[in-house]
Amino acid sequence: MKLHDTLNWGLFQEIDKICGSSVNTYPFKTKAARINDAMNRYCHLAFQADGRWPFDDINQSSPPIDTQNIVSGTNRYKFGTFTEKILNLIKLEILNSDGQGVPLVPESINDLYDSFQELYLDTANVGTPSHYCKFGDFIYLRPFPNYSETDGLKAYFNRPASRFDFVLTTVTIAAPGVFTSVAHGLTLNDTIILETDGALPTGLTADTQYYVVADGLTADAFEVSATQGGTAITTTDTQSGNHSFIKTNKEPGIVSLHHPIIARLASLPFLIENSLPQMGAIAQLIQKDELAITQFFARRSKDIKTIMRNLIPMGR
């Protein structure tokens, strides 16, 4: 399911069907925020159940790997310095002085007891790190590295799902109106919905789907039409406030079979807030949904083991 799709049914449409709502009673911005919360819940369940293949949202454009520089004589590195948002650390690796990757052995501060200071704070203990201990928002290495290496500390991790976010933009009063938003990420024929806390110029309407056209499309600017491949819209009169857009042809980066689960998860808060009669039935469905998610990822781990055993004969 796309986020919004009046022709083939999207997440917004499914949520409105469940809730008996509309954009007026359950605004697009609130739906998008609830969908993001639902995706976070989905990822949490997938991370817990998936013991072999780390789950990742397929909308991500790069693998869940991030790096920091290794500095000679420094063994403490702030976890939050990684550029990516890391939910769960799967593996930590370090480049040795020859630039070769060496897996680091994790240690728990609870298991180290009084030896943490001796093992991790002794500056005389230098060389190529072989172990690490995560404490708070910091990673400690032992021994202290006696060399520096660019991108020498490499983390493999689980991260949050790719979000459905409204992006701030500006638009000119012109023929056609040109939207500006740095690195907007939109491509030809993408669809968007506009929101504003003020007034859009004449020619544009909030909560209406528009199509990105080829003319004027750059990395930081775009124009829109009311129809796919149509003429870019001319904007007139005046405008006020802050405008934003959301890409509506984006789909959740998860198994398509589970898209309706995201809609049900995003519907439940609205049903509870408004004490609607279908609340109990949807809550019961969600319990079954979450069990199905857990079983799907747990079974996938077991299935790949079976496949590998069948592909590789015993004794080889």
**1-15, 44-58, 127-141, 251-265 — which is least confidently predicted?**
44-58
* Distance, CA of 127 to CA of 154 (rounded, Å): 18
* Distance, CA of 242 to CA of 155 (rounded, Å): 38
Q: Is residue 240 part of a domain?
A: yes
Last-in-domain residue among 137, 158, 179 = 158
Name the residue type at position 47. F
Adjacency order of strands within the sheet including 88-95 = 65-70, 149-158, 88-95, 101-103
Total count of residues recorded for the chain: 316
Q: Is residue 46 part of a domain?
A: yes
Range of the domain at 10: 1-58+160-164+253-273+284-316
Which tens digits make up the pLDDT trace of 19-41? 999 999 999 999 999 999 999 99
Which tens digits make up the pLDDT trace of 137-192? 999 999 999 999 999 999 998 888 889 999 999 999 999 999 999 999 999 999 99
**Does pLDDT of 51 surpass 80?**
no
Q: Is residue 149 part of a domain?
A: yes
Q: Which helix (H) or strand (E) holds 68?
A: strand 65-70
Q: What is the CATH number of the domain that holds 244?
A: 2.40.30
Instruction: Output the pTM of the full model.
Output: 0.82
Q: Is residue 279 part of a domain?
A: no
Mean pLDDT estimate for the chain: 91
Instruction: Return the beta strands (E) in 56-95 as ranges.
Output: 65-70, 76-78, 88-95
Q: Which residue has the higher pLDDT, 85 or 175?
A: 175
Task: Supply the pLDDT for residue 308.
Answer: 42
Residues 144 and 132: beta-carbon distance below 8 Å: no
Task: Supply the pLDDT for residue 10.
Answer: 96
End-to-end CA distance of the chain: 44
Residues 69 and 54 in one domain: no
Last-in-domain residue among 132, 158, 184 = 158
Residues 12 and 28: beta-carbon distance below 8 Å: yes
| Cis before 252 (ω within 30) | no
Strand bridging mode 105-107 / 131-135: parallel
**Token pair 């230098």 in the structure block, residue:** 126
Q: Is residue 278 part of a domain?
A: no
Residues 177 and 233: beta-carbon distance below 8 Å: yes
pLDDT band with cut points at 50, 70 and 90 for residue 302:
low
Q: Return the DSSP state at 215.
A: T
Q: For the chain, how many structural domains are there in total?
A: 3
Structure tokens at 27: 């605004």
Residues 26 and 86 in one domain: no
The SS3 call for residue 201 is coil
Nearest to 37 by CA among 278, 286, 242, 277: 286
State whether the Cα torsion 215-220-225-227 is positive or negative: positive
**Does pLDDT of 263 surpass 90?**
yes
